[in-house]
Amino acid sequence: MDEAHQHYQKLKQELQEALVDRETLEKQWDQIQQEIFDKESAYLTGNSSSQYGTIVKGFDAFGKHIHDSAHAFSDKDRIFSLSSARFVKQQEGDDKGGDGQA
């Protein structure tokens, strides 16, 4: 019985630690996602995006200064953020803890 109890305690502790780990990882996950989102925004709206083009829009506009159209990007162009299912679900709002979005 004592052995079983020890085993139980050990498992319990493992579980607790795993839960804490998971929480930390989820927080980091959100952070990283936010970071991707921010960098993506910076990249897509950056000054040079209109001048050089971006990897999303292609580089056809290279040096042509198409200001408005090149600057404007829709949410569809967020290919980096959108590659995360979690991000998509958070946007749709059916995931708990939706703080990973702007």
Partner 1 sequence: MDPSSALEQTTHDVSNLQAEFRYILDEIKNADLRVYEQRKKYVQRDAQVQKFVKQHGSGTENPREGELSQKIERELQDCVESQRGKCVLANTALFLVSKHLSKLEKTIRVLEGDNLLAPAEEDKETESGGDNSRESSVMSGERRRKATPTAAVVAPKRKRRADSTPVPRQKDSTPGGGSDANFDLQDYNDDLFSGYNQAEEDDKQLYCFCQSVSYGEMVACDGPNCKYEWFHYTCVNLKEPPKGAWYCPDCRQELANTRLKKRKA
Measured in whole angstroms, how far is the alpha carbon of residue 74 from the centre of its chain? Answer: 17
* Residue 98 binds partner 1 (CB under 8 A): no
Closest CA to 47 of 20, 67, 18, 76: 67
Site string for partner 1, 2-41 (x = CB under 8 A): --------------------------x--xx--x---x--
- CA 73-76-78 angle, 5° bins: 75
The least CB distance from residue 43 to partner 1, in Å, is 7
Residues belonging to the chain: 102
Q: Which of residues 40-69 bind partner 1 (CB under 8 A)?
A: 42-43, 46-49, 51-52, 55-60, 62-64
CA gap 90, 98 in Å, rounded? 5
For residues 57 and 40, is the Cβ–Cβ distance under 8 A? Answer: no
Closer Cβ to partner 1, 17 or 35, answer by number: 35
Q: Which residues bind partner 1 (CB under 8 A)?
A: 28, 31-32, 35, 39, 42-43, 46-49, 51-52, 55-60, 62-64, 79-80, 82-86, 88-89
